[in-house]
Amino acid sequence: MSDVLLCVVDIRFPPLLFPPKLYDYCQKTLGKSIIVVLNKIDMIPSPLVVAWKDYFKKKYPELEVLCFTSYEGRGNEIKTGPGLKTKRRFRKLRMAGEGALELYKIIEKTVAGQVDLSSWKAKILEESNIAESDEQELEVDLVDTSVPDTSYYEFKRFQDGILTIGTIGQPNTGKSSLINGLMGKKVVSVSKTPGHTKHFQTIFLTPNVRLCDCPGLIFPSKVPKALQVLCGSYPIAQLREPYTTIKYLAERTNLPSILKINHPEGEKEWSAFDISDGWAEKKGYHTAKASRLDSYRAANHILRLALEGRIVLALRPPDFTKNENVWKNDPRVLEIEQIHSGVVASASEVGESDDENGEKEEEEDDDDEESPTQVSLFSSNKFALLEDD
């Protein structure tokens, strides 16, 4: 029933999350327009975002590419160190103005005047000019208890003058957050746990623009389970044994240096258990009865840090390293930085926003002492991370 499809992928692992077969089916068989949304662009450097955007445009000429982040202009606080940086973000939700305006321009070209989009453009410009206030009006929609019509449905493009925009993608790529960012308020529930969205939902952005949110799609894959966990496709809570994933991550990042931990036994060589024990010792994780180091809890916490982007593992497109200076000087880098730029806030303001105005976290936040430094590791070969250990 969608007129335009948004395929949402995590910018850290685009080739693993974008399905070419689905693109061919939608573009050639169904004749529907499809837009790939490179989400969470605030997690990696801007030149890499531009490189991935150029990669998709060259490989799929008919594909429209949109760079998006739900945290644009959130008053980021950036602490610089010796070549490293950490970043905390406001969690108070408002419209992602730059991303929404870019999406409007792409869809306006696709629709070609068949649907009136003036109200959507007016809403974007209005929301962009309104200062964020502490009090926001809440709208409560009526619950429809009628029995849904499951009979045969014949698709008609732009039926009744309404543009329907559907979102598809694998779990935890940010489909629901994308809709909330376009709406400028929380209209659908979000979670870090894959598979949180379980029902098909429709939300009217304007009277003639409708958004559709659906559960994540799981395609048959030969990707190792460790990489599925780091991509967010496999729930961390369902891992019986997290140490294989810790080993996979530690082989590609310098976890002891990132986490600033010491070896529990003072040795030079590290194992996945040593890293977990070292983090448990630093955070004070102990079992209830025997008061031993809770390495299982520590390992799960490290994986959640990687999933949240506090420890970044990302892929690079082909020849990125060779042309890295070219990408850094690309004029489109300024456009990407403009999307997630904002006014720098003081440390006290960031802390108050997280506590008073922020959304409640489903996970317990144990980072009350010292947060690990955000470090990025990128692979020059897009298939290098798929190799078996």
Interval 265-289: pLDDT, tens: 888 899 999 999 999 999 999 998 8
Q: Is the pLDDT of residue 235 over 70?
A: yes
In sequence order, the β-bridge partners of residue 8 are: 37
Are 83 and 53 in contact, with CB atoms under 8 Å apart? no
Q: Is the dihedral of CA 149, 218, 89, 276 positive or negative?
A: positive
Global pTM exceeds 0.85: no
CA 107 – CA 202 distance, rounded (Å)? 18
Q: With pLDDT > 70 as the criterion, what percentage of the chain qualifies?
A: 68
* Strand pairing report for 64-67 and 33-39: parallel
129-186 per-position pLDDT tens digit: 654 444 444 344 444 455 655 565 566 777 777 888 888 888 888 888 888 888 877 7
Mean pLDDT, range 60-72, rounded to an integer: 84
pLDDT score at 136: 45
pLDDT score at 375: 46
332-383 per-position pLDDT tens digit: 998 888 776 633 333 333 333 333 333 444 444 444 445 454 444 554 444 4
30-47 per-position pLDDT tens digit: 888 889 999 988 888 899
Q: Is the pLDDT of residue 240 over 80?
A: yes
Q: Is the pLDDT of residue 384 over 60?
A: no
Q: With pLDDT > 90 as the criterion, what percentage of the chain qualifies?
A: 22
In sequence order, the β-bridge partners of residue 25 are: none
CA 57 – CA 217 distance, rounded (Å)? 23
Q: Which residue reads 């048959």 in tokens?
A: 220
* Strand pairing report for 77-80 and 85-88: antiparallel
Mean pLDDT, range 304-322, rounded to an integer: 89
